[in-house]
């Protein structure tokens, strides 16, 4: 064994290689190592074996052991699986480097080109459990001693690239810097192969390199020819990232990290932040690595008000360019949020610098997401086949702290390498493409929860990673358009448009037939059309009765007027069946809106399409899509009643989803105008059918129904109406009943006085800061435990402890306690846990992962809600065009009108489906919110109960009683949600 003070030049170069922190140092030290050993860099896997054989150095043996263990997996066939395959990888990001490593282990000749010459991305990535294990197996701790020590479960992009670069070099990947890939150069004739067009002029060896496989890992801005990209839009939300220099002082190490807070389930923190600083956020994360890394999404109105965005910009959904940002205001904004998030303990921080020497602070549009439609193609010319693949996350997600991008990116790298292996084995191109597309379908939905539990078994074979794997989900004949051959015939696409959805009503005749079946046998009801047959209200009442017989007896309709009966039916359908109206009772009786009536009746069919079409009473609500809408409506109305009570009154303990009493047959107290359903109650403009959004009997444009303070679109179950001013607010900005808080309605005429952006920094309210820290889900008495663990992270664990930790980690259950519960347990048993430091670290890491899962879940919901909102906007635009065509083109052929009406019905049903999904998501939001509220109230109550009775004041006892009542109320609400989910599960069974 060589000593640490060995004079062997190769040993010195190897140590420099391990410790290098910049690209140029990595490359120069590796070049020196190869020269000292008499080798040429980039010789493929044989080069690794030569380095290992010649470098008999004690410091390298543990690294060789890990790499040998990985390379020894049967799937690589001792480096012979792809020995005759030549690959070109474009891009040295984490995913491109990880793909290059896998291809090298397969024995392929791998060349990687990267247009940059340095790694300068400070942003910090959360790591899923399998990515941690995967990187450890490649020797990550050898290159970066602090890798995932203690409770650390993240790494900066720069550090991740550095360690993967070192592994790739050792495995013989040939890397070229400052080289831009600009396109493919097809074979010039028989016997020649595919080459790359590179800029600037490349060395002859690289320019003449002919390859069989091209892997593009250059991100969404560069997509090879033949691949299509679709842009998915959500609502406008500006994401801001900030990196501060980490001086690693004592004060800095003592500030605990924040795995993530999302407004969608923890509004208390964001209310405190807004009150103290005037900053209105939706998410915030704080990680420590080489920098203090913050990422947040901010409300657009807040950015405009504080001067971060220019006021003169037009309303647009385009990507936010750097010219649109006011740099000084943005820096003050970032510093204010950072000071608040870290409880003011970091003091004065300096911004890290980007590659151009400027403060590393940036802004981007949170909602512009690019997705590749296809992930692989095969091109053939002059007999030479080229396999092209895209590597990276199938969805480019800007919210990096979730770790979704790098985790799915690594999975995509494995899948691409598996595709290359199948290609090298001689599988037919269409078979390879079909398998790749089958895998690609899984990628966008992959999460730590739906992958194999044992991360140690993960390998190149997809079966080791995906429990529900079906490589035949896509058949070869379905991917013929991905195989480009000069002589093949183009694929013909059918011109016929199919407007049907599974279980949907396809035509007006289908809807009429369904209505006739459901209303058959009721006295006085004769449905012959979808207009005049409904004006007396009896047919509508009969339809409601058929779906819920307990609401009304048919005899009760005798002598009831048309308007009264119709009003009852609309009200009952909304409050007891979950079917919101799209037209007024007056419009139904007058027969003035036949298209609106058809759309409304299709809501009944959509909500209960799973029931039998045979006539006969239905005893209970169908477990279909309307159940979530109905429950959410009851939830919203109950919360509105609860909020309307004055704080002095006892908090309500009414259970949320209890059925409301039958709707009485009484006429409306305030008759609606005949045109109430045609005009928006907020803007006064015309409402087309698909635009109509009904709240408390009033109709709005969905785009008009926004928070009065932040102008964010309001989601079902997440808004309230202030009884004094009548405006609608999101729950974060809803003023408390009986109180007029100036801070709750912030605008140009009423600015926050506690923040000064661009004019001397930020002054935060200490009381708000102190109270807000509970919002992180971190009990105050356990913060010392976090500090102790943070100190442990500074010293890397030994290899033995690492293996012990991995073994113990694998034994942990799939679901575990949340972060607060775990920290409380550790605090109570700190003496015992000090005897087992490895277990202590592992348990705390597991607790952080559970908290991260909550955050990821909330983020996923928030993203999907944004996508639904964007999809609804598109449907509304299409619906307006169709409705205008139907109402204005009286001279159009009947066949054309019929086609337009079928298309309109199709859009209505798509909207119903999206609204139902939105309701399902908001129920999950309520679950997350109630869980957080219960924990916070429980901690608050424990604080009172732990005090000596003799030391409690009258105010303390009163406060304790109020907290207890609130806790009981929240428990009842959670119980109601659980019962709802269980009843629906049983009904579905």
Cα–Cα distance between 171 and 431 in angstroms, integer? Answer: 30
What does pLDDT average to over the chain? Answer: 78
Question: Quick check: helix, strand or coil at residue 619?
Answer: coil
In whole angstroms, what is the distance from residue 435 CA to residue 479 CA?
A: 10
Mean pLDDT value across residues 86-112: 96
The pLDDT-based confidence of 836 (bands split at 50, 70, 90) is low
If you average pLDDT over each of 356-365, 396-405, 685-694, 731-740, which comes out highest?
Answer: 685-694
Residue 174, pLDDT score: 95
State the helix-helix crossing angle for 594-607 and 837-888, rounded to 10 degrees. 150
Confidence of residue 744 (pLDDT cuts 50, 70, 90): very low
For 507-518, give the DSSP string. SHHHHHHHHHHH
Q: Per-residue pLDDT averaged across 445-459, rounded?
A: 87
Rounded percentage of the chain residues whose pLDDT exceeds 70: 75
Q: How many CB atoms lie within 10 A of CB 19?
A: 13
684: left (phi over 0), alpha (psi -120 to 50) or beta: left
Tell me the average pLDDT across 151-162. Answer: 88
Token duo for residue 549: 């017989």
pLDDT over 80 at 717, yes or no: no
Question: How far apart are the C-alpha atoms of 42 and 62, rounded to whole Å?
Answer: 23
Q: Mind spelling out the 3-state secondary structure of 860-916?
A: HHHHHHHHHHHHHHHHHHHHHHHHHHHHHCCCCCHHHHHHHHHHHHHHHHHHHHHHH
Rg for the chain, CA atoms, rounded: 32
Of the pLDDT bands very low, low, confident and very high (cuts 50, 70, 90), residue 113 is: very high
Other CB atoms within a 10 A radius of the CB of residue 810 amount to 13
Q: Any idea which of 271-275, 312-316, 415-419 has the lowest mean pLDDT? A: 312-316
pLDDT tens per residue, range 765-786: 334 334 433 334 333 334 444 4
What DSSP line would sit under 285-302, residue for residue?
Answer: EEEESSEEEEEEEE-HHH
Looking at the DSSP bridge assignments, the partners of residue 149 are none
Lowest mean pLDDT among 258-272, 354-368, 390-404, 516-530: 390-404
Residues 840-875 pLDDT 10s:
667 777 777 777 778 878 877 887 887 788 888 889
Look at residue 26 and give its three-state secondary structure. helix
Which pLDDT score is estimated for 312? 64
Could you tell me the strand order of the sheet in which 109-114 lies?
174-177, 109-114, 86-90, 213-216, 384-390, 376-381, 483-485
Find, among 200, 260, 128, 413, the residue nearest to 859 by Cα: 260
Report the pLDDT averaged over residues 487-508. 48
Instruction: Return the structure tokens found at 286.
Output: 């704080």
Proportion of the chain above pLDDT 90, given as a percent: 22
Residue 945 and residue 928: Cα distance in Å, rounded? 26
Tokens of 743: 């801070």
Question: What DSSP element (H or E) covers 626?
Answer: helix 626-644
Nearest partner of 391 among 627, 148, 89, judged by Cα: 89
Q: How confident is the model at residue 977 (pLDDT cuts 50, 70, 90)?
A: confident
Lowest-confidence pick of 77-91, 608-622, 641-655, 874-888: 608-622
Return all residues near 490 (Cβ < 8 A) that are at least 6 apart: none
474 contact partners, CB below 8 Å, separation of at least 6:
434, 435, 437, 438, 441
Kindly tell me if the per-residue pLDDT of 428 is higher than 90.
Answer: yes
Query: Measuring CA to CA, which residue among 747, 755, 754, 751 is closest to residue 707?
Result: 747
Query: Which whole number is the average pLDDT over 541-548?
Result: 86
Question: What is the rounded average pLDDT of the residues 395-424?
Answer: 83
**Stronger pLDDT, 829 or 37, i.e. the higher one:** 37
Give residue 103's pLDDT. 97
Q: In sequence order, what are the beta bridge partners of 110?
A: 87
Q: Which residues pair with 384 in a beta bridge?
A: 381
Q: What CA–CA distance (Å, rounded) separates 584 from 698?
A: 9
Is 102 strand, coil or helix?
Answer: helix
Q: What is the pLDDT of residue 232?
A: 60
Residue 890 pLDDT grade (very low, low, confident, very high; cuts 50, 70, 90):
low
DSSP 114: E
Angle between helices 9-19 and 23-37 (to 10 degrees): 160
382 backbone φψ class: left, alpha, beta (φ>0; ψ -120 to 50): left
Tens digit of pLDDT for each residue in 315-359? Answer: 444 444 445 667 788 888 998 999 888 877 777 788 988 777 788
Which range, 266-275, 411-420, 625-634, has the best average confidence (pLDDT)? 411-420
Q: Are strands 174-177 and 109-114 parallel, antiparallel or unpaired?
A: parallel
Question: What is the pLDDT at residue 774?
Answer: 38
Distance linking the first and last C-alpha atoms of the chain? 67
pLDDT for 431 equals 95
Higher pLDDT, 807 or 120: 120
Which of 786, 911, 909 minimizes the C-alpha distance to 851?
786
Retrieve residue 792's tokens.
Answer: 């442990």
In sequence order, the 6+-apart residues with CB closer than 8 A to the CB of 857 are: 924, 928
Among 853, 932, 751, which residue's Cα sits nearest to residue 267?
A: 932
Residue 809 φ/ψ, nearest 5 degrees: -60, -40
Whether the predicted pLDDT of 809 surpasses 60: no
Q: What is the mean pLDDT of residues 538-558?
A: 82
CA distance 710 to 302: 7
List the Cα angle 739/744/748 in 5-degree steps. 130
CB atoms within 10 A of CB 74: 10
**What stretches of 504-627 adopt beta strand conformation (E)?**
none
Give me the helix-helix angle, 129-137 and 799-811, nearest 10°. 150
Helix (H) / strand (E) element for 984: namely helix 954-988
Find out whether 192 and 382 touch, Cβ atoms under 8 Å.
Answer: yes
Range name among 218-222, 423-427, 488-492, 722-726 with the lowest pLDDT average: 488-492
pLDDT tens digit sequence for 682-698: 888 888 888 888 887 78
C-beta separation of 252 from 292 below 8 A: yes
Task: Determine which of 193-207, 472-486, 577-591, 854-868 has the lowest per-residue pLDDT on average.
Answer: 854-868
Specify the pLDDT at position 326. Answer: 74
pLDDT (average), residues 925-940: 84
Q: How confident is the model at residue 283 (pLDDT cuts 50, 70, 90)?
A: confident
Residue whose entry in the numeric block shows the structure tokens 């928006």? 680
- Residues contacting residue 337 through CB under 8 Å, at least 6 positions apart: 240, 242, 273, 277, 279, 281, 284, 294, 296
Task: Please report the DSSP string for 219-285 in residue order.
Answer: -TT---TT--EEEE-----EEEEEEEE----HHHHHSPPEEEEETTT-HHHHHHHHHHH---EEEEE
pLDDT at residue 625, rounded to an integer: 43
Residue position matching structure tokens 């004739």: 189
Residue 643, pLDDT score:
57
- Pick from 490-494, 628-632, 873-877, 932-936: least confident: 490-494
> Pseudo-torsion of CA 541, 542, 548, 551, nearest 10°?
50
Q: Are 609 and 624 in contact (CB under 8 A)?
A: yes
DSSP 47: H
Q: What's the pLDDT score for residue 342? A: 85
- Mean pLDDT value of segment 554-573: 84
**pLDDT band, residue 833 (cuts 50/70/90):** low
pLDDT per position as a tens digit, 566-607: 998 888 888 888 888 888 888 899 888 888 888 888 888 876
* 523 DSSP 8-state letter: T
Measured distance CA(752)–CA(764) in Å, rounded: 11
Give the DSSP H/E element, type plus range, for residue 982.
Answer: helix 954-988
Per-residue pLDDT at 489? 43
Distances in Å between the alpha carbon of 137 and those of 406, 489, 794, 831? Answer: 17, 47, 21, 33
Which is it for the CA torsion 319, 323, 326, 330, positive or negative?
Answer: positive
How far is Cα 32 from Cα 157, in angstroms, rounded to an integer? 26
Length of the chain: 989
Cα 234 off chain centre by: 12
Residue 894: alpha-carbon gap to chain centroid: 45
Residue 644: predicted pLDDT = 57
Higher pLDDT, 865 or 460: 460
**CA distance linking residue 593 with residue 875, whole number of Å:** 20
């Amino acid at each position: 064994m060589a000593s640490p003070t060995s004079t062997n030049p190769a040993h010195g170069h190897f140590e420099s290689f391990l410790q290098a922190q910049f690209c140029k140092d990595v490359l120069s030290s590796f070049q020196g190592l190869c020269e000292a050993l008499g080798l040429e860099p980039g010789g493929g896997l044989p080069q690794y074996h030569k380095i290992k054989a010649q470098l008999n150095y004690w410091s390298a043996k543990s690294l060789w052991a890990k790499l040998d263990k990985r390379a020894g997996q049967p799937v690589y066939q001792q480096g012979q699986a792809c020995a005759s395959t030549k690959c070109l990888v474009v891009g040295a990001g984490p995913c491109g480097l990880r793909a290059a490593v896998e291809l090298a282990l397969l024995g392929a000749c791998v060349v990687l080109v990267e247009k940059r010459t340095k790694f300068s991305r400070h942003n910090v990535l959360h790591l899923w459990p399998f990515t941690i294990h995967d990187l450890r197996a490649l020797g990550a701790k050898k290159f970066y001693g602090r890798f995932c020590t203690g409770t650390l479960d993240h790494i900066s992009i720069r550090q991740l690239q550095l360690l993967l670069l070192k592994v790739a070099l050792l495995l013989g990947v040939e890397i070229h810097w400052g080289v831009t890939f600009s396109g493919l150069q097809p074979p010039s004739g028989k016997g020649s192969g595919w080459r790359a067009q590179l800029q600037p002029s490349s060395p002859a060896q690289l320019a003449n390199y002919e390859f069989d496989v091209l892997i593009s890992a250059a991100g969404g801005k560069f997509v090879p020819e033949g691949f299509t990209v679709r842009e998915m839009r959500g609502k406008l939300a500006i994401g801001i990232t900030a990196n501060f220099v980490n001086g690693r002082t004592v004060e800095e190490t003592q500030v605990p990290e924040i795995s993530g807070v999302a407004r969608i389930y923890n509004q208390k923190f964001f209310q405190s932040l807004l009150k103290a600083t005037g900053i209105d956020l939706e998410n915030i994360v704080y990680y420590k690595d080489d920098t203090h890394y913050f990422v947040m999404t901010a409300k657009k109105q807040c950015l405009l008000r504080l001067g971060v965005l220019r006021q003169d910009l037009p309303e647009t959904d385009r990507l936010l360019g750097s010219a649109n940002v006011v740099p000084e205001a943005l820096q003050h904004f970032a510093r204010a949020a950072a000071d608040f998030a870290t409880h003011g303990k970091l003091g004065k921080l300096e911004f890290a610098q980007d590659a151009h020497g400027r403060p590393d602070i940036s802004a981007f549009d949170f909602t512009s997401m690019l997705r590749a439609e296809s992930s692989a193609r095969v091109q053939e010319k002059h007999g030479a086949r080229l396999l092209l693949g895209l590597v990276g996350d199938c969805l480019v997600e800007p919210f990096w702290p979730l770790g979704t991008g790098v985790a799915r990116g690594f999975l995509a790298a494995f899948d691409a390498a598996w595709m290359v292996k199948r290609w090298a084995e001689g599988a037919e191109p269409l078979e390879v493409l079909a398998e790749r597309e089958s895998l690609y379908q899984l990628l966008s939905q992959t999460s730590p929860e739906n992958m194999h539990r044992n991360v140690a078994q993960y390998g190149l074979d997809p079966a080791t990673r995906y429990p529900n794997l079906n490589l035949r989900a896509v058949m070869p004949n379905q991917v013929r358009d991905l195989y480009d051959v000069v002589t093949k015939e183009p694929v013909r696409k059918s011109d016929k448009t199919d407007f049907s959805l599974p279980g949907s009503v396809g035509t007006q005749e289908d809807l009429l037939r369904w209505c006739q079946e459901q209303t058959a046998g009721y006295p006085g009801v004769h449905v012959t059309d979808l207009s005049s047959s409904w004006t007396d209200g009896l047919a509508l009442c009969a339809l409601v009765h058929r779906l819920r017989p307990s609401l009304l007896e048919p005899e009760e309709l005798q002598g009831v007027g048309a308007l009264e009966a119709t009003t009852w039916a609309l009200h009952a359908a909304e409050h007891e069946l979950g079917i919101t109206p799209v037209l007024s009772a007056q419009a139904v009786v007058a027969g003035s809106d036949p298209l609106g009536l058809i759309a409304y009746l299709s809501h009944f069919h959509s909500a209960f399409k799973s029931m039998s079409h045979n006539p006969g009473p239905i005893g209970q609500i169908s477990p279909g899509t309307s159940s979530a809408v109905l429950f959410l409506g009851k939830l919203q109305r109950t919360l509105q009643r609860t909020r309307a009570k004055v704080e002095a009154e006892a908090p309500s303990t009414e259970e949320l989803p209890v059925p409301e009493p039958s709707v009485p047959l009484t006429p409306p107290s305030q008759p609606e105008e005949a045109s109430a359903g045609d005009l928006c109650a907020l803007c006064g403009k015309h409402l087309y059918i698909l635009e109509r959004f009904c709240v408390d009997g009033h109709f709005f444009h969905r785009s008009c129904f926004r928070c009065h303070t932040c102008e964010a679109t309001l989601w079902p179950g997440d808004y309230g109406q202030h009884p004094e001013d009548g405006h609608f607010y999101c729950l974060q900005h809803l003023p408390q009943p009986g109180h007029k808080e100036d801070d709750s309605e912030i605008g140009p005429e009423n600015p926050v006085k506690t923040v000064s952006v661009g004019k001397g920094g930020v002054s935060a309210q200490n009381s708000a800061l102190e109270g807000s820290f509970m919002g992180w889900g971190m009990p105050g008495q356990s913060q010392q435990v976090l500090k102790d663990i943070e100190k442990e992270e500074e010293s890397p664990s030994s290899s033995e402890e690492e293996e012990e930790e991995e073994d113990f980690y694998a034994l942990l259950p799939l679901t575990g306690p949340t972060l607060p519960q775990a920290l409380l347990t550790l605090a109570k048993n700190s003496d015992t846990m000090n005897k087992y430091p490895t277990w202590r670290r592992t348990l705390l890491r597991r607790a952080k992962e559970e908290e991260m899962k909550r955050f990821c879940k909330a983020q996923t919901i928030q993203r999907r809600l944004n996508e639904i909102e964007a999809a609804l906007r598109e449907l509304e635009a299409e619906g307006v065009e169709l409705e205008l065509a139907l109402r204005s083109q009286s001279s159009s052929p009947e066949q054309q009108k019929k086609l337009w009406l079928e298309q309109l019905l199709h859009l209505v049903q798509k909207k119903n489906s999206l609204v139902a999904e939105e309701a399902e998501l908001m129920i999950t939001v309520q679950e997350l919110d109630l869980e957080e509220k219960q924990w916070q109230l429980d901690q608050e109550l424990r604080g009172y109960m732990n005090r000596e009775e003799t030391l409690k004041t009258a105010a303390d006892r009163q406060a304790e009683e109020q907290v207890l009542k609130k806790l009981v109320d929240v428990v009842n609400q959670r119980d109601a949600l659980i019962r709802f989910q269980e009843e629906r599960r049983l009904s579905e069974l």
